[in-house]
Structure formats: C-alpha cells, structure tokens
C-alpha cells in the first residue's frame, strides 16, 4: 500500500496547504532531536515528517502522489499521454530532515534561541517561542491619510487601494495583488490619529506581514486651520472698521453663514471667540470646540492731506 504521507502529518487528503504547514510545524517541533535526545524512535518520526512535508508541500509531487501513490512517485510515471514512452524522474527524499526543518523555519537551528539547556534537560527559554523558530514581523508601513476639514467635520468613508505581495497556494511563490482597505473616518479625528490594519503588508514564507498604519494629516483649507478642537479663521478688516466696529461673515464647514458682530476696537493681538463653532470632539461628537477669529488689520496705502487732518483731529481728541 505504501507510505501514507497524509497520515504521518495527521491530515486527510483534502488538507489545504495551510494545514500541511501547520501540522508539520507542530509535529516537527514535538519530535525534533533537540527535544528528544538519544530517542531513535523520535528521530525516525522527525525524518518521516520531513519527507511527508517535502512531498505534500510541493504541488507537482503531491499531484503525482495523490494519483499514483508512493510507488508512482518514487518510480516515475508516464509523461503526457504516455504515447512517447517517456517517464517522469522518480522522487527520492534527500534524507536530510534538518534541511527541511531549517528551510521551513528560515534559520540554522531555531532551538538555539528559544530553548535553554538546564542541567541537561530542555526547558522553554525566556519569551517562549521568540527565537528563530518564530516568524518575525516586518516593521509597520506608515502612510499619510490626508483629509479635508470637511471630511473630518462630518465624518466619511475612505477606500484606500494598496498593492502587496501575496503567497500563492503552493507556499513557495508569490504574486502582486491589489486590495481595498476601508477606513471609517470618525468626526473630529485629530492629526496624528493612527488607523492600523494588522498584517496587511507583503507576505513571505518566513515572515509575518507588516501592519499597515494610516496617519491622519490635515489638507490645507482656504479659510480655516485647526488647533486641537478649535477652528482658526483670519478676517481682513479695514483700519476704519477695526476702530469703529463691523460684522464678520464666516461661512462654516457645514454650509451655514455666521454673522459675528465686532463691537470692540480691533487692535493687534485681539481675537474673537465664538463658542461651539469649532471641530467636533472625537470622544463626544455632539460637542464642539470654538471658532477663534483672528484679525488682519488693513491699513490704507495713501491718505490725502484732508483725510490725514480728519484722522489727526479724531485721534487727538
């Protein structure tokens, strides 16, 4: 009947490639010679696991094995229709289970880093499976998420297209594929807010994909800038109105127009605070910061002698 590679790995014939990897990893660690010193039975099992994984993790070998069994795999089978008389080359396991183990874990000996010898026995080292036996995650990939003040004021949904390397079903090759990540922007998100998509970076056989992190950044706005939860608006006011009073019209982010009376004398550094007309507070969007109006006092470029005299008389009274 021949060797049952599926049974060796504790699998059925319908096992997916991920199941093959998962079971080999678990059993290879269990029967590794470092954990079972001077145990020939464990070493024999470790070797059987390596051969089973070597066959079932390769799509071509697995297909031949599934159709023709161990005999067909190792002796070769007719190529194509068989009319040419050509046969495939038979499979022979190279006999080195340590090579399969190293290739799988991507290191020379993962046990050197996640096991410590204590009085001749093996115990889990500090951090558990934190050495070479554990796949290391790539550093986060950070990208700007540029949002208009209107988008942050109202909240919105952004769809971000990324291209990443994805492992194919054979577990050895990869291809570039696009993916759409959906971000639900909440009202009042501040610049620097981070949105993390775990493990959406490039995949590889020996790594954990990086997290993709989007960082909120404000787009320039023609009328406002924000500081914390407050909106800052700069009003251009002629000198005469700065001294005698005026009304400032402000078109808001939600399409209203505020008519703000300015009765004080507008001097350098003067600001007008309009409570509750700023940005939503992210933790409680029903509340808002303030609108702060700053002033750019516009001085005349020229004055006739008569007007100078009027100004002089008015200011010297």
Phi and psi at 72, nearest 5°, equal: -65, -40
Q: Find the distance separating the first CA and the last CA of the chain, reported in whole Å.
A: 117
Q: CB–CB of 161/168 below 8 Å? A: no
pLDDT computed for residue 65 by the predictor: 86
* The pLDDT value given to residue 52: 92
Confidence at residue 121, expressed as pLDDT on a 0 to 100 scale = 43
Same domain, 232 and 299: yes
Token readout for 72 is: 């067909």
**What local confidence, expressed as pLDDT, does residue 47 receive?**
92
Residue 170 has a pLDDT of 73
User: How many structural domains comprise the chain?
Assistant: 3
**Phi, psi (deg, nearest 5) at residue 67:** -90, -40
Residues of the chain with pLDDT below 50 are: 81, 108, 112-132
Quick one: 205 and 240 in the same domain? no
pLDDT recorded at residue 134: 62
Q: What dihedral do alpha carbons 210, 211, 216, 219 form, nearest 10°?
A: 40
DSSP β-bridge partners for residue 246: 262
pLDDT, residue 180, reads 93
DSSP assignment of 74-133: HH--B-TTSTT--BPPPP---S-HHHHHHHHHTSS-THHHHEEEETTEEEEPTTSS-STT
Query: Which residue range forms the structural domain that includes residue 155?
Result: 136-218
Indicate the pTM of the whole model: 0.56
Greatest C-alpha distance within the chain: 118
Of 184, 201, 218, the position where a domain reaches its end is 218
Report the pLDDT value the prediction gives residue 77, as an integer from 0 to 100: 73
37 and 113 part of one domain? yes
The Cα–Cα gap between 259 and 272 comes to: 12
Residues 21 and 114 in one domain: yes
Angle value at C-alpha 159, between 155 and 165, nearest 5 degrees: 145
Using the 8-state DSSP alphabet, how is residue 136 labeled? Answer: E
Residue 131: inside a domain: no
Query: 88 with 10, same domain?
Result: yes
pLDDT reported for residue 255:
94
Q: Are residues 204 and 236 in the same domain?
A: no
For residues 210 and 228, membership in a common domain is answered with no
Q: Tell whether 214 and 250 lie within a shared domain.
A: no
């Amino acid at each position: 009947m021949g060797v049952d590679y599926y049974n060796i790995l504790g699998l059925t014939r319908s096992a997916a490639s991920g199941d093959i990897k998962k079971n080999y990893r678990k059993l290879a660690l269990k029967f590794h010679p470092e954990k079972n010193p001077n145990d020939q039975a464990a070493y024999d099992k470790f070797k059987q696991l390596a051969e089973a994984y070597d066959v079932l993790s390769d799509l071509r070998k697995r297909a031949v094995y599934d159709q023709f069994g161990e005999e067909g795999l190792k002796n070769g089978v007719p190529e194509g229709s068989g009319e040419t008389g050509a046969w495939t080359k038979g499979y022979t396991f190279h006999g080195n289970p340590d090579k399969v183990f190293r290739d799988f874990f991507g290191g020379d000996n993962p046990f050197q880093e996640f096991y410590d010898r204590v009085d001749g026995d093996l115990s889990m080292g500090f951090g558990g499976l934190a050495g070479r036996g554990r796949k290391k995650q790539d550093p986060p990939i950070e990208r700007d998420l540029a949002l208009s003040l209107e988008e942050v004021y109202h909240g919105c949904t952004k769809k971000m297209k990324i291209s990443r390397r994805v492992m194919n079903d054979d577990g050895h090759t990869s291809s570039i594929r696009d993916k759409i990540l959906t971000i639900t922007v909440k009202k009042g998100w501040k610049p620097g807010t981070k949105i993390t998509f775990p493990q959406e970076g490039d995949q590889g056989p020996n790594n954990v994909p990086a997290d993709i992190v989007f960082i909120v950044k404000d787009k320039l706005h023609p009328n406002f800038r924000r500081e914390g939860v407050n909106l800052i608006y700069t009003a251009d006011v002629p000198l005469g109105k700065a001294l005698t009073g005026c009304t400032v019209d402000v078109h808001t982010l939600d399409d209203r127009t505020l008519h703000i009376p300015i009765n004080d004398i507008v001097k350098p550094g003067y600001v007008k605070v309009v409570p509750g007309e700023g940005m939503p507070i992210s933790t409680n969007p029903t509340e808002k910061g303030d609108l702060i109006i700053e002033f750019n006092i516009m001085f005349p470029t020229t004055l006739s002698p008569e007007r100078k005299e009027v100004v002089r008389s008015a200011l010297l009274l």
